[in-house]
Chains A and B, each alone.
Chain A
Amino acid sequence: KQEVTQIPAALSVPEGENLVLNCSFTDSAIYNLQWFRQDPGKGLTSLLLIQSSQREQTSGRLNASLDKSSGRSTLYIAASQPGDSATYLCAVILENQGAQKLVFGQGTRLTINP
């Protein structure tokens, strides 16, 4: 059974710092991996999608990497801002009988202090 773990569970850093969020998964046979952002009481916003054949994706100050062989992904946030405060969820996509399904980690709750 695929399990996804995110470390740390919570992180608090001062504004302007660069930071890394970690995601690990137990089965490397994934279809792709997606990082989401969730604001309190809100839905999920897709940040980056890394397909299984790719090693990284970038969007603005965000960079996500994927190492399937070691079962790891990282989300790098450069020059953090208070507006980056949210919960970040990592999800791997498994192929199952023609319907890919997401398996989520528990998330990292990020607080950026002004």
Chain B
Amino acid sequence: NAGVTQTPKFHILKIGQSMTLQCTQDMNHNYMYWYRQDPGMGLKLIYYSVGAGITDKGEVPNGYNVSRSTTEDFPLRLELAAPSQTSVYFCASSQTGGWNGYTFGSGTRLTVV
């Protein structure tokens, strides 16, 4: 059982470029989340989804987009990358929206230069 898988693990992006961070879970969880973690800080919610076809903004959504076409996949799209988007990105999923806790991926470390 792989859990939550994120790719890539590391990436360097130039200012103005775009890219997609991939997140896949094999636990048939309905709820999926994207967080970012800046150095020395806690995690902040970017976007979340309660099921296929349903997404909503979190605390820091500007500069990002998401889609949820299947239960398994929840990709995060960065458009026109900026240095402020340099961060570690974590994807998480939950079966019951938090009642039984969350499972996190290992993260994607993104640097925008």
Chain A interface residue bracket vs B: 20 to 34
Q: How many residues of B contact A (CB 8 A)?
A: 28
User: Across the interface, do A99 and B107 meet the contact criterion of CB distance under 8 Å?
Assistant: no
Closest-CB distance, A43 to chain B (whole angstroms) = 4
A42 to B109, CA, bound (A): 10
Closest-CB distance, B6 to chain A (whole angstroms) = 8
Closest-CB distance, A29 to chain B (whole angstroms) = 14
Closest-CB distance, A41 to chain B (whole angstroms) = 8
Contact residues in B for A43 (Cβ distance below 8 Å): 90, 104-107
Contact residues in B for A104 (Cβ distance below 8 Å): 35, 42-44
Specify which of A45, A95, A97, A102 is in contact with B45 (CB 8 Å cutoff). A102
Given contacts A4-B42, A106-B40, contact A34 B101 (CB under 8 A): yes
A93 to B45, CA, bound (A): 12
**Is chain A's interface secondary structure helix, strand, loop, or mixed overall?**
strand
Contact residues in A for B103 (Cβ distance below 8 Å): 46
User: Across the interface, do A100 and B98 meet the contact criterion of CB distance under 8 Å?
Assistant: yes
Specify which of A44, A51, A97, A100 is in contact with B94 (CB 8 Å cutoff). A100
Residue of B whose beta carbon sits closest to that of A5? B42
Specify which of B50, B102, B104 is in contact with A98 (CB 8 Å cutoff). B50
A103 to B92, CA, bound (A): 13
Specify which of B31, B48, B104 is in contact with A44 (CB 8 Å cutoff). B104
Between A and B, 29 residue pairs with Cβ closer than 8 Å are A31-B98, A32-B98, A34-B102, A41-B109, A42-B106, A43-B104, A43-B107, A44-B90, A44-B92, A45-B104, A46-B101, A46-B103, A46-B104, A49-B101, A51-B99, A89-B42, A95-B97, A98-B50, A99-B31, A99-B48, A99-B56, A100-B99, A101-B58, A101-B98, A104-B35, A105-B42, A106-B40, A106-B41, A106-B42
